[in-house]
Structure 1
Amino acid sequence: MTTKQQSRESTVLHNLNTIYPSIEEMYIDLHKHPELSMQEVQTSAKVASRLKDAGFEVTSGVGGTEVVGLLRNGPGPTIMLRGDMDALPLEEKTNLPYASTVKMKIARAT
């Protein structure tokens, strides 16, 4: 590894340590308050807010509750990432302090 690569890696890891508490807080919050597919109203709002705060152009309500964040960095290749934010309707039995206790009704098609 070159000195330049080591310096870049050190910067990324330092920044990660700086933002980790905020990321962990969001993870715990989302874990405690899961929402089923196409019902992720609060989750979408939280993700959109975080993306806006980070400087992304944000489009909400895509396909219902989906969020698109665009970070422009000049001409060149484009990288796209996708993440799911819906939860499964399962009882959580982890005994974690942030385990979800949310109960939701699943809408059934008639």
Structure 2
Amino acid sequence: MVNVKELVQKHKEQIVGIRRQLHQIPEPAYTEQKTAAAVADHLKKAGLEVRTGVARYGVVGLLRTERPGPTLMIRADMDALPVEECTGLA
């Protein structure tokens, strides 16, 4: 069985890099064209079967195996929410 914690630690720098990349292209709901393209690109590079255009900008990544057993689904939002900075740093 795969140890998810070890897998995440092994790829931590790459995961953080992807997160930082996505935060550089904030898009409000129903306009996430660039974000969806970036997510799809990363999933393809990871070897997943990718479906795009799901409910306009949704992305689905499928990792098929020959092994029987349960299926895992992970869902995430890609839209950016408008935020008013109160720290004076923006």
Q: TM-score, normalized by length of structure 1?
A: 0.67
CA distance in 1, matches of 2:24, 2:5: 29
Gaps of at least 5 residues in structure 2 are none
Partner of 2:31: 39
> How many corresponding residue pairs?
88
Gaps of at least 5 residues in structure 1 are 96-100, 102-110
Q: Where does 1:1-110 land on structure 2 (aligned, <5 Å)?
A: 9=3, 12-13=5-6, 15-74=7-66, 75-93=68-86, 95=89
Runs of 4+ in 1 over 4 A off after TM superposition: none
Q: Larger C-alpha radius of gyration, 1 or 2? A: 1
TM-fit CA distance, 1:87:
0.9
Evaluate the alpha carbon distance shift between residue 83 and residue 65 of structure 1 in structure 2; reply closer, same or farther with a 3 A threshold: same
CA distance in 2, matches of 1:23, 1:89: 24
CA distance in 2, matches of 1:65, 1:23: 21
Identity %: 44
Q: TM-score, normalized by length of structure 2?
A: 0.79
Paired residue type of 1:19 = H
CA RMSD of aligned residues (A): 2.3
